[in-house]
Each structure stands twice: as structure tokens, then as C-alpha cells.
Amino acid sequence: MKKVAILQSNYIPWKGYFDIINMVDEFILYDDMQYTRRDWRNRNKIKTFGGVKWLTIPVNVKGKFYQKINETEVNRSDWAEEHWKTIRYNYAHAPYFDELSPWLGDLYQKAGSLTMLSDINYLFLSEICRYLGIRTKLSWSSDYELIDGKTERLAALVKSAGGGFYLSGPAAKDYIQPEVFDEYGIELAYMDYGGYPEYPQLHGDFTHQVSILDLLFMEGPSSTAFMKSFSGVTS
């Protein structure tokens, strides 16, 4: 049975996002949804000498109240250089920084030449998946015909992708109608983000709520040992 997950693209998201990708056969980027401000679409957190800080991609939002994620444009080209400088400063002494620095620095150079937020997010998502050994197909919701209805649209997307199992983020419990998935003959399950093991971190108390870059810099090739999807633990 083909497993599918559907989420909006995020900027260098945390490890749980990549676990969902690795737990399914196809991961659909839901970027023809409305862009939401002060969300994870264009920003994420890293640990710094001064505490947990946001890295935010500046985007054009003025007067664009109903723009979709895949219509959202970057409004400054120097953001990538600034982000990479901040990362270098705060993770220079991480165990795997020297090993990963050429690869990640090159990604930021490529990202700085892109103008659309969705393309930037896809670049980091696909390349980090490759590093982790995740082979899940990444596709776009715009690749499929969309129908009306919040839950109906999700179920129809899964069906169009040939899926019989839908893995949802836990927050969707607030609005998903399970009976719609039953009508489509699709099994519904929710990701459980609890129970992640800790790993050594720089800069103060441990927190899970940071970009996966933190884990990669600290554990390198062993990062998968701290992720549920590689250990077979799903709850």
C-alpha cells in the first residue's frame, strides 16, 4: 500500500519534518495553499551564543494578503549570505561543521540566486534528504488536480497519487474529517512527535525545536540514530 504525506514546504525544518518524509513513499508539497506570515514557511530556528534565534528569509508580503506559498517572492538577494554567516559563526566548533561546510555553503550560494520561496525550500529539503539517505519522491500539489473542501482535497490528492495510506501531521486533527478518508478508502494516521532522544548540543539547554541543521552539525552521519523513521519507531 502506497503511503503519502502532504505538508506545506518549510525553510530548513526540524528533524520531525524529515521523519514524515521518510515514513512515506511520496511527499506532496502543498504550496498552492495561502502563504501565512510568522510561520515556518520562510523561517526556522538555530541555536546561537545568545540563545535560540530565528533565521528568516525576507519575502514580499505587502498588499499580498491572499498569495499562495508558491507565489511568494524573496525581496532581498543578500539573505542567503547573511544566514550562512550566522550559521558559520554559531556552529564553527560543532563536531561535523568542517565536514558539512562546503556542501551547505554551496547550497546557500545556490539559494541566494533563487527568487521564489518554494524553490528555495525545495532545494534545502531535497538536498538534506539526499544527505540523510531519504529516497521518498517529492512532488507538488500543483502536479495534481485539486478539488474544493479542506479534507476532501487532501483525500483526493492521496488518491490521485495512488495512495491508500495518509500520514498527517498531528495539528491537522483539529480540522480533518476522518469519514472523508473512509469514503475514499484511505487509511488515516497521525505522526507522533513525542519521545525523541536528546543529543549533545552547543549553547545552553537542549531543545528539539530547532532546524535539522543543528542535528547534522552535531552528529553528521549518525544523525539518523536520533530520528524515529530510521529506528522504526513511529510513536
User: Is pLDDT of 215 > 90?
Assistant: yes
Mean predicted lDDT score pLDDT of the chain: 95
Cα separation, 20 vs 139, in Å, equals: 14
What's the whole-model pTM score? 0.95
Residue with the three cell numbers 550559521: 87
Biggest CA–CA distance in the chain, Å, is 53
User: Is pLDDT of 234 > 50?
Assistant: no
Using only C-alpha atoms, the chain has a radius of gyration, in whole angstroms, of 18
Q: How far is CA 1 from CA 153, 168, 183, in A?
A: 20, 16, 17
pLDDT tens track for 132-146 = 999 999 999 999 988
Answer whether 31's CB lies under 8 Å from 70's CB: yes
User: Is pLDDT of 18 > 80?
Assistant: yes
pLDDT band at 232 (very low <50, low <70, confident <90, very high): low
Cα separation, 12 vs 46, in Å, equals: 10
Closest CA to 30 of 47, 55, 1, 10: 10
Instruction: Give the CB-side neighbour count of residue 66, counting CA atoms within 13 A.
Output: 0
pLDDT tens track for 102-139 = 999 999 999 999 999 999 999 999 999 999 999 999 99
| Boundaries of every domain in the chain | 3-231
pLDDT band at 22 (very low <50, low <70, confident <90, very high): very high
Answer whether 157's CB lies under 8 Å from 141's CB: yes
Q: Within a 10 A sphere around the Cβ of 76, how many other Cβ atoms? A: 12
Cα separation, 154 vs 70, in Å, equals: 18
